[in-house]
Structure formats: structure tokens, C-alpha cells
Structure 1
Amino acid sequence: MRDGFPVRGADVFHTINRLRKLNFNKRALEVMEWVIRERPYRPRELDYSYLVEFTSKLHGIPHGENLFTRVPVEFQNELLYNNLVIACLDKGVIRRSFEYMKRMRELGYPISHLVFNRLIILHSSPGRRKMIPSLLNQMKADKVTPHVSTYNILMKIEANEHNLENLMRFFDRMKRVQVEPNEISYCILATAHAVARLYAATEMYVEAVEKSMTGNNWSTLDVLVILYGYLGSQKELERIWDIIKGLPFVRSKSYMLAIEAFGRIGELNRAEEIWSEMESLKGLKSVEQFNSMMTVYCKHGVLDKASRLYKNMKTKGYKPNAITYRHLTLGCLKSGKAEQALKTLELGMRFPVNKRVGNSTPWLETTLSIAELFAEKGDVENVERLFEEFHKAKYCRMILGGANPDAETYSLLKITEQFQT
């Protein structure tokens, strides 16, 4: 603009989308206020919808509603209404959003699938989940065509609950209504089957992920790192890691996932190389970084290196958490130090564990490995105590499903049917 080039709507569109992804809401609102005030072009409905969206996010729903009434009447249409409903849902004001949805039906404005996506997410907790079928029925009554993102949300909810059967039910429904799965859909499916130890099925879904990829999406690449670690494919893991390192920016999280994946397939030296690279390029700034290398050492019983890493972490001022001690418990058991393992387990249980961590796959897999080692030693009491955690996380169905000799065959038959339709 300083060079005399005109500002177009497309420039503003890309700027706002970028600012939204970075969560720079204040800056986005400043941009939109400038557009409305200076009018580098004639404002459109999209510009006013952005203005309402970021005003609501920064100053609250009442300010957004007040602004809505002052928008020119010709722009108070479906786009503006949908954005106002989404703003209400983002603030958790569900009843108010229902009132606006009712008003939209009266005016004959179509409701966006994004509105129902938000509603499903808001009702995804165990206490509210019984409302989801009603939301899907309302979606159908409003003649809102489910988007692939809607099915991805529904499948992810079931994957988080370790309910492979219900996950596949939603995937089958998506195929029946001819909604084309995307790379996110296949990532959810592949990960769920990997966690259930159905590796042949996982491999087929991983192929589908690779075929459906659109560009080098870092989140998809991170998932592929995890999946090739499960499948034990060092060649493919190296290939994906090379692609990630070629991106303009590599997150610390990507380094941690690569360390764990190489550790999973037994490549400790490679995991240590990536750890050193992360330390020099990113710095060690969190306990999660230390835990990523800790899990590698402990899975393979290299307790001396895990202990040195633990001391280094404390020296740098990072406090170990429940995950740290759970890994160290496994390392002690793998090293034949049962008494030290019990003390470490008890120490870790003093730390609070939120539901997200308690339901996470790395936590549950580590806990399962510990339970198996306790079972080998005949320690029934501790096995039962750990299985209480599996019960709360509904992980038992995944353990039993993966152990069923027919589960792999059944899942492959289901996949064959899906790819034929």
C-alpha cells in the first residue's frame, strides 16, 4: 500500500484468514475497522461479517449484536447471521445462538454446517453427548448437508473415547451419503486402528492418507510420523521426517514426535540425533521435550540415561510431572528394579492428571506396558489398580479388540467393502 498499490478484497481476505489462524484477533479487528473507515474499496457482506466476528471475540456478544444492528440492511443476510451465531457459540452462549437460528429459519436463511460443527463440539463431553443425535436430526430438518468436517468431528469424538465400532459407523454413514473423506478423515481412521493394534488395517489407511494429501500439511505429516512409528517402517519414517525438515518452520512438537517414533522402532541412536538437533535449534524449554526422550529410554530399559536426563531436567528448573514418573516406572521395571518402580509409581500418583492426559494414547500405552510387566511378576493388586485407569478411559475395549484374533481380519474385510463402494 505504501508503494501505491491498491488494497483489494482478496488481500484483506487472505490477511484476515492468516491473522485468525495465529489468533491475532485484536490485529484482525484493527484491519477491518480500517477497511470500513478508509474504504479502500466498497465494503461487502464478508467485510461486515469479519467486523462482527472480531468485535464479538474481543468485546463480547452485546457489542457484536449492537454492531450487527448498525450494519447496512442489505448486508444483514445469511453470512452475517451465521457469523453472529458462531460468535455466540464460541463464547458458549448456546441459548442466544438458538434464538438467532430460529430467526434465520423465519427469514428463510440457510444455516451453515459450521454452526452445527460448533454445536457438536460443545456437546462432545460425556454429560452432553446424548444431545448429538438430536443435533444431527435438526441438521437434517434444516436441510443442512453434512460436510466432511462434520463427520471428522464425529469420528474424532469416538476415537477419543477409543470406540472403534462407533467411529466406523460414522465413516460408513459418510460413505453412504457420498461425502468424500479427506486426509483428516483417513488420519483419524489410521490412528484409531494403530492404537487398537490393527496394523494391517492401519497400513491401508496410511496409504489413503498419502493419496489424499493436499500439499505438505504439517499436521498431516506429524500424524504420518506417528503412524510409521507404529508400523515400524524406518524408510518411510525417514522420508516423512526429511519432508518436515524441508518446511520453512519446524515446530518443537514435530521433533518430539519424531524422537518418540524412532524410539518406538528401536532406533535409539537416531532418536538421540534428533534430540540433539532439537536442543541446538529449538532449545529445551519444556518438560514435554524431556519426556519425549525419557519415554524412548524407558521403553528400552536404558535407565541410566533416563536417570541422567531426569537430573538434567531438574537442574534446568523443569519440574517432572505425572507423565515423567510413569515413564520412569516403566524404565525401572524393564531394568529389573521392581521395588524402585513401585516407589516411582506412587510418587507419580501424587500428581494430578487431567482427563486429556489420562485418556491420551501415550499415557495409556505406557500404563499398559507397566500392567503387563506387573502381571508377569504376579502382582495382581497393582494390575487391578492400573486397570481402573483403563476403565475410566474406556481403553479396555481397545485392548480386548486388538487382542481378538478375528479383529484384524474383520477390519480388513470392512476396509475392502469401503474402498469398493
Structure 2
Amino acid sequence: MWALRRASISLRLRGFSAGTSRACWVKLTTSKVEDKPGIIESPQISCKGSLSFKTFHSAGQTSFNSIVREISSQADSKSKKEDDDMEYELETPVGEVHDNGGEDVELISEQDSSYENEGVEDLNTGQKLPDAEVDSTEKESQQKGIRSELFKAIIRIPGLSVNSVLTKWVEEGKELSRSEISLAIHNLRVFRMYRKALQLSDWVEAKQTIDLTEKDYASRLDLIAKVHGVYKAETYVERIPKSFRGELVYQTLLANCVNENNLKKSEEVFSKMKDLKLPVSVFACNQMLLLYKRTDKRKIANVLSLMEEENIKPSLFSHKILIDLKGKYKDIAGMEQIVEKLKAEGVEPDIQIQLALAKQYASAGLKEKVEAVLKEIEGGSLEENRSACQYLFTIYADLGKADEVERIWAVCKSDPQTHECLAAIEAWGKLKKIEEAEAIFEMMIKKWKRLTSRQYAVLLRAYTINNMLTKGKDLINRMANSGHRLGPVTWDALVRLYVQAGEVEKADSLLQKAIRQTQMRPIYDTYIAILEQYAERGDVHNAEKIFYRMRQVGYTSRLSGFRFLIQAYINAKRPAYGMRERLKADNLSPYKAFMVQLAEVDAFRRTSVSNSLE
């Protein structure tokens, strides 16, 4: 029934065994944390052996059963070309920034409310991140985008530390209530100022200003993971009182591990949750689906099997992942079947599912179907459905439809929101219409006076796509002259500019200089861009150097890094001693095409000549 369940290399997610936890690089002594509300309870997990499953009887899930069976068989019969795609995927929606802790400390224009329109959410899952515990009045303030006075004081003077602001705040006798602290942390999260939010959280915990709840601890854990990485977050768990180390804390850590595509750590956390007899929720399963979608699609059926036998009802996000998978397998009929059965159960597909459909239709060359979905997203009138514009920019740009991008911009340009401007700049960049992208950027400068470096980075990416190194360097100088600090997103774009210009050594040097000067944690893909170029050259020495630096900052247990490293050895025509042991140490299960690649650099592989000499 479940083809992948029989695969010899499967993880047996039905009960990530205790052996899996013991084999991990860093043994969990307590647990991990990750925030995500809205957890659905399910039967308890047995502490020994595999998960204690209940018989699956839910009639409402019959359609889901047939879908996951098909996905199992499809994943089990992948071609070599498709196996090659079982790797890390770069999925960066418009406006998303990578949570790497390196942020820009800068004044924020009062008119720039784009982030507040987005809300504080994990852009991989669309689920809200936990701030401190708040009452209904405070929630209403957050939803309306109200900024706390404490938040304004923190960002008013960019160079002033949060501790200094708080000390002065208390000395002046101003109120420092739970609601004020909660709203300030929420505001800082909205603007991705995670380091300052963590400093505020540090102060609150040290001063014991308020009584902390599990949600407060989970929120703090999330900030630690975003600023310092999941390994630092893991050590913080031991400091959390045992009574507050609950499901929310562990799911917070799980989601951060998945966000970093850290296969081993994610599986460790999932195993730890089982050992602690925490319920298996749809959120935790979605996180593992997302992880395996990016790293090893063969393991997806194990998660689906778990959901089936534990009677865990899939969410819309679960279905979005399945639609993406069906699309990658070119199973358009199966993809449409998922949507139809959702509708039959009275569930209307949300915009994320519609976008997934449009993306896969476009990939399959089904332009009429793409346009039909886009019309649904657009609705009767774009003027009345402005929230759809930022998504439509992206899809129409991917389709090469400059006239449609222009039509949508005509709706927005009289009173544009920041996120619409950024989406339009990105779209024009993809369409190689740099003048149009630059015109919107200049309009933003006039309208909002001072932009953040992340907003500069969108135009910088457009220059990167079009291999415009000179323009890119000019924009970086303009940022520096405006007093901006360059964060991970900006450095990523600059590195790619040099890489595409064939100056990989310069890109490497710039990145190392940036790390030394800013103490930032670069984006994973920044390293990969450099590693890939060294691999193409067969430069084993520099490839190993970059690979080592990636591990130093916590980017471990990822097949994509190993894949490029091995390619360097292949291109250099050199054997790679101990590579299998290195993979085993990271608890990685290579897919078929990867094993073929690995065999090419095996120093002890048997050949027809060596056999004949025996």
C-alpha cells in the first residue's frame, strides 16, 4: 500500500526510533523549541519502538488515502533526472527575508506599513509566530498595526542599545507592562529586527519584569534560533523550567530546524517529541513534509502514512505540498483531483493553493489553465482585490507577460504599497526591463525618503539576474552613503553579482570580509553560489574550504552541499576519501543519482580492470 514504506533507506518515520536519536551528531539532552500555534492534538506516542497507531477509520479522509498512495508509487518510480531534483529548493516569496539574525538597524518611515500588512508569520508555513502572551485588546492593536511607544523609542536612535533605552525608560517612570513589552516585540518581529527583539526579551527575562508563560519562552526560543541558530536555541531549552517545556516549545524548535533545512536536527527534534509523549499534530507533520519536499522526497510517504494511521486531518498547507509534488511529477490530473476533492468536502482553496496550481500549470506549459487560475485569483476587480497584485506580478513575470505586469502596476501606481512596489521591481527584473524597475525604485525613494537595505536588495537582485555588476556596485555605494548597514540578503545579492561575472575569488573574499566586519551569519545559498563555482572548476581545495565554513556556522546535514563538494572531486578527477563516512556521520541517506555521483569518486571502487587483475 505504501511503496516507500518498504524502501530499505526509509527513515521509518512511523516512529523515528530511539536509535535515530542516538545516531544524531548532537544528542538532545532536553529538547528543541519552535513556535507555532494552532496545534491539533492526536493520540499519544508510545515511548518505546514505533508510534502506536490507531486503526484508520475516518471517512472524511478517504480521498486523502488515495492521493498519498499515488504519491508513494510516484516517488518510488522516479527517473534519474527527477532524482537529481530531490534537493534543496530555493523558495523565496516576494518580500521574504532570510532569518539569519543579521539585521539592519535603521529608522523606519512612518508611512512604510508594508510589513505590518503582512503580519508576523513564518513565510514557509503561513502560520503566526508566537509573541508574548497577550489579551484581546493587545491582539487588536497588533492586528491594526499599532506601534508601541517602547518600539518607537528603540528604533528612534539606531546606534543606541536596547538596554540603554530600557534603562532610560524605567528611570523616567514610564510603564513597562506586559502589553507594552508584547507589542514592542511584535513590532520588532514585523520589521524583522530579530536581534533587537531578542535583546528586549533578554532584558525582560533577566529583570523578571513579568511572569513568563510557555508562549513567552517559545517566542524567545524562536528569536534565539533566528539570531544565533538552532544549536544555540537547543541549549536554551535546558534553561526553560520543565513545566513550560511543552508542545509549543518543541514545535518552535522543529520549525526553525526545518527553516534551516537541517535534516538531522529536524529528525532529532521529532524523535524527542515522541520520546516526551507529546501529541503528533498536523503542524509537526507539515513541517516534516516541507523538509522532505526540499531534501528527500522518498521520505514523504512515511509522513503521509503517519498522518493516515494517526487519523491526523491534513490542513490546506498539507494539500499545497501535495499539489507541488504532483506538479513536479507532471501529474496534472492528480493535482487537479486534490483540488476537486477539497471543494467536494466544502473547503475552498486559498490563494496559496491557487498560486501552487498556477506555478505547476506554467511549468507544464498549460498557459490556458494558468490564465484561468490567475483570473480566479484576480477576482472581478483588481481595484477591489488589491491584495492579489503582489502575487500576480510574480506569476505574470514568470510567464514572460510584460503587458500584464504593466496592467497590474497601472492599478497600483497611484497609491502603491511597499510590498507591491517590491513585487513589481522583481517582476521587471525577471523580464529584463531594468529601466522600469529603476523608475519604481526612485519613486519609492521620493515617497518614503529612506528605504531599508532589504528594499534596496530587491533592485540589487534585479541587477544580479541581468548580470549588471557595475550597476550593482553603484547601488551598494549608494546604500553605504545613505548610512545603511549591509545585511545577509544584500551580501547574498552582491556575492551573486561577482559570481555571475566570473569573479568567484572576489565573491569569496567579500563574503569573508563581511563576516569578519559584521559578525553576520550568511544565507545558506550564498555559500552554495560560491561552492558551485569552485565545483565547476574542479577546485577541490577551495570547495572544501567553503564546505568547512558552512559547517562552522551551522549549515550541516544537507545533501546539496555534499553534492557540489563531490562534483568538485569529479571535475578534478580526484578520489574523495572518506566521503561515505562523512555522509553517515551526518545521518544522510543519499538518493539514487547521488550514489552514482559518489561512486565516481570512490577511491576503492571496483572496475572491470581491477576484477580481471585478481
Kept in 2: contact 1:287–1:313 (CA 8 A): no
2:534 and 2:245 map into 1 onto residues whose CA distance is 55
- Counterpart of 1:206 in 2: which secondary structure? helix
Q: Which residue of 2 aligns with 1:304?
A: none
Q: Which residue of 1 aligns with 2:266?
A: 94
Kept in 1: contact 2:389–2:408 (CA 8 A): no
| Higher percent of residues as helix | 1
The alpha carbon displacement at 1:226 in A equals 3.1
2:329 and 2:281 map into 1 onto residues whose CA distance is 27
2:305 and 2:272 map into 1 onto residues whose CA distance is 19
Letter of the structure 1 residue corresponding to residue 270 of structure 2: F
Kept in 2: contact 1:86–1:97 (CA 8 A): no
The alpha carbon displacement at 1:130 in A equals 1.7
1:219 and 1:14 map into 2 onto residues whose CA distance is 27
Distance change >3 Å, CA 159–CA 322, structure 1 → 2: farther
**Do residues 182 (structure 1) and 354 (structure 2) align?**
no
The alpha carbon displacement at 1:47 in A equals 0.4
**Do residues 29 (structure 1) and 203 (structure 2) align?**
no
1:174 and 1:180 map into 2 onto residues whose CA distance is 7
2:177 and 2:306 map into 1 onto residues whose CA distance is 39
Within 5 Å, which residues of 2 pair with 1:8-19? 9=178, 12-13=181-182, 15-16=184-185, 19=188
- Counterpart of 1:41 in 2: which secondary structure? coil
Q: Deviations over 1:230-278 (max 9, x none)?
A: 49547743444537x61146655532414656x8xxxxxxx57624515
Q: Which residue of 2 aligns with 1:52?
A: 221
Letter of the structure 1 residue corresponding to residue 417 of structure 2: L
Kept in 1: contact 2:397–2:405 (CA 8 A): no
The alpha carbon displacement at 1:14 in A equals 5.1
The alpha carbon displacement at 1:35 in A equals 2.4
2:329 and 2:185 map into 1 onto residues whose CA distance is 35
RMSD: 4.7
Q: Deviations over 1:202-232 (max 9, x none)?
A: 2331232234998637742533653786495
Q: Deviations over 1:265-322 (max 9, x none)?
A: xxxxxx5762451574578964743755x9xxxxxxxxxxxxxxx8976997966949
1:159 and 1:8 map into 2 onto residues whose CA distance is 50
Kept in 2: contact 1:322–1:351 (CA 8 A): no
Distance change >3 Å, CA 137–CA 287, structure 1 → 2: closer
Distance change >3 Å, CA 165–CA 130, structure 1 → 2: farther
Distance change >3 Å, CA 178–CA 311, structure 1 → 2: closer
**Do residues 255 (structure 1) and 425 (structure 2) align?**
yes
- Counterpart of 1:222 in 2: which secondary structure? helix
The alpha carbon displacement at 1:178 in A equals 4.5
1:238 and 1:60 map into 2 onto residues whose CA distance is 38
**Do residues 79 (structure 1) and 79 (structure 2) align?**
no
1:82 and 1:113 map into 2 onto residues whose CA distance is 11
**Do residues 141 (structure 1) and 303 (structure 2) align?**
no
- Residue range with higher mean Cα deviation, 65-74 or 132-141: 65-74
The alpha carbon displacement at 1:83 in A equals 1.9
- Residue range with higher mean Cα deviation, 9-18 or 133-142: 9-18
Within 5 Å, which residues of 2 pair with 1:164-175? 164-175=332-343
1:10 and 1:156 map into 2 onto residues whose CA distance is 40
Q: Deviations over 1:346-394 (max 9, x none)?
A: xxx99969xx9xxxxxxxxxxxxxxxxxxxxxxxxxxxxxxxxxxx9xx
1:165 and 1:5 map into 2 onto residues whose CA distance is 62
- Counterpart of 2:313 in 1: which secondary structure? coil
Q: Which residue of 1 aligns with 2:589?
A: none
Letter of the structure 1 residue corresponding to residue 391 of structure 2: T
- Counterpart of 2:417 in 1: which secondary structure? coil
- Counterpart of 1:124 in 2: which secondary structure? helix
Q: Which residue of 1 aligns with 2:416?
A: 246
2:534 and 2:285 map into 1 onto residues whose CA distance is 40
- Counterpart of 1:116 in 2: which secondary structure? helix
Q: Which residue of 2 aligns with 1:226?
A: 397
- Residue range with higher mean Cα deviation, 158-167 or 227-236: 227-236
1:157 and 1:21 map into 2 onto residues whose CA distance is 31
- Counterpart of 1:189 in 2: which secondary structure? helix
1:34 and 1:235 map into 2 onto residues whose CA distance is 49
Kept in 1: contact 2:194–2:226 (CA 8 A): yes
2:222 and 2:232 map into 1 onto residues whose CA distance is 10
The alpha carbon displacement at 1:122 in A equals 1.8
2:435 and 2:244 map into 1 onto residues whose CA distance is 57
Q: Which residue of 2 aligns with 1:379?
A: none
TM-score (norm 1): 0.55
1:81 and 1:314 map into 2 onto residues whose CA distance is 42
Within 5 Å, which residues of 2 pair with 1:186-205? 186-205=354-373
- Residue range with higher mean Cα deviation, 16-25 or 70-79: 16-25
Structure 2: stretches of 5+ with no match in the other structure: 1-149, 151-168, 446-455, 476-496, 503-532, 538-559, 561-592, 594-614
Q: How many residues align?
A: 302
Distance change >3 Å, CA 252–CA 115, structure 1 → 2: same
- Counterpart of 1:123 in 2: which secondary structure? helix
The alpha carbon displacement at 1:10 in A equals 5.3
2:534 and 2:267 map into 1 onto residues whose CA distance is 40
